[in-house]
Structure 1
């Protein structure tokens, strides 16, 4: 982690106690939509559009980042000061473009039960 609190792919290492949020963030930072299919529950209606449509939105966002020259996304832990009223969000920032988006994770009993993007940091 650098002085600004940004987490890079090198900062995320696999340990014996890796949780689903860490794996999910790693897949996003690598812009690997294929891994997201394995990590998300098909019964959850992510962002009220379902698993497949949610992953397709992320995949399209990854393509936009790649067109802008990004090879990975960095993670910044932040707080939503808008729609989720000071709740923690994961802000993903392009390593070259600095273009960003943020996701709010609803977690219950160490399991992701829903994911929403935070409008404060742009569209997904």
Structure 2
């Protein structure tokens, strides 16, 4: 499944029925780590991470995206071609950098059950050779 067009924040905000997944997408797209933390449930499966570890890693990625000029993301749904073979991943793409932040949303019976990072469509850490992140 692929969306023909990327989804931007105003599109979600204009929707009449915003569910919990849309609110989480919106928080990620806005790089609002406090809202992300609030919306994530302790019982979600973060695969090899705890909720706190997952949020810290996501916050680190948000900060790196901020360093390279991103203030928000747009969303594209893509089929993962590597780590989550043929599953749909959410690729949050930096508006300025064009660099993706991939997340796999695990659903069961239309309910979110877990999240995991997916690097199939790029990642900000690919810039580690060009940036000394501690200088920022």
Report TM bin, short chain: 0.7 to 0.9
CA distance, structure 1, for counterparts of residue 43 and residue 106 of structure 2: 15
More strand by share: 1
RMSD (Å) for aligned C-alpha atoms: 1.9
SS at match of 2:34: helix
Quick check: 2:105–2:112 contact (8 Å CA) kept in 1?
yes
- Give every structure 1 segment of 4 or more consecutive aligned residues whose post-TM-superposition deviation is greater than 4 Å: none
Aligned to 2:92: 92
Residues 47 and 54 of structure 1 are in contact (CA less than 8 Å); yes or no, is this contact kept in structure 2? Answer: no
TM-score by length of 1: 0.88
Deviation at 1:16, TM superposition (A): 5.1
Residue 64 of structure 1: how far off its partner (Å): 0.6
5+ long unaligned stretches in structure 1? none
CA positional deviation for 1:120:
1.3
Q: Cα offset for 1:93? A: 0.6
Once the two structures are TM-superposed, the CA of residue 92 in structure 1 deviates from its matched residue by 0.7
The structure that has the greater radius of gyration is 2
SS in 2 for 1:12: helix
Q: Give the count of matched residue pairs.
A: 122
Q: What is the SS of the residue equivalent to 2:54?
A: helix
TM-score, normalising length: structure 2: 0.81
